[in-house]
């Protein structure tokens, strides 16, 4: 009975965490970002380039479902992209800051979701080992 309660509480925590992450993704993240690239300093430009390189690496390593979500974010912001027969090409440097922030939030969501899944897998294996004993 004790294992059932801990599993239920784990599921509730996971659902709360997922809801919080979803809320963060949909919230307006433009409060601290400049609207025009000319408003940012050279230090901020370097940070922006580093963030864009990070985003590019993460997108390139995503599975097709996650890439589809990134595409949906870009499409929701009415950003321009180029379609070829086999690919969709996006210049990350031309995306507005809100779109970049939403993509970063999605990447953070993927990371936290992966952590939750790994913790659940470890817990599942622990329960299996307990049942064997």
**CA 29 to CA 73: how far, in whole Å?**
14
pTM for this model (two decimals) = 0.58
For residue 8, tell me if it sits in a domain.
no
* Range(s) of the domain holding residue 80: 32-132
Q: Is residue 9 part of a domain?
A: no
- 115: in domain: yes
Number of domains in the chain: 1
Residue with tokens 């050279």: 42
Question: Per the domain annotation, does 71 fall within a domain?
Answer: yes
pLDDT digits (tens, 9 = 90+) for 50-76: 788 888 889 989 999 999 999 999 999
Residue 60 lies in a domain: yes
Q: Check whether 130 has a pLDDT greater than 90.
A: no
Would you say residue 75 lies in a domain?
yes
Cβ neighbourhood burial of 70 (10 Å; 0-12, 13-18, 19+):
buried
Whole-number Å distance between alpha carbons of 88 and 93:
15
pLDDT score, position 33: 46
């Amino acid at each position: 009975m004790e294992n059932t309660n801990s599993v239920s509480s784990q599921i509730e925590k996971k659902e709360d965490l997922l809801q919080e992450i979803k809320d963060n993704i949909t919230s307006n993240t433009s409060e601290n970002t400049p609207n025009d690239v000319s408003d940012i300093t050279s230090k901020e430009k370097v940070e922006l380039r580093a963030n864009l390189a990070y985003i590019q690496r993460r997108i390139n390593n995503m599975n097709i479902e996650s890439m589809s979500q990134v595409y949906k974010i870009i499409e929701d912001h009415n950003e321009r992209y180029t379609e070829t027969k086999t690919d969709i090409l996006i210049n990350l440097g031309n995306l507005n800051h809100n779109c970049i922030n939403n993509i970063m939030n999605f990447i953070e969501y993927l990371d936290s979701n992966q952590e939750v899944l790994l913790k659940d897998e470890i817990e599942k294996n622990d329960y299996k080992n307990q049942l064997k004993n």
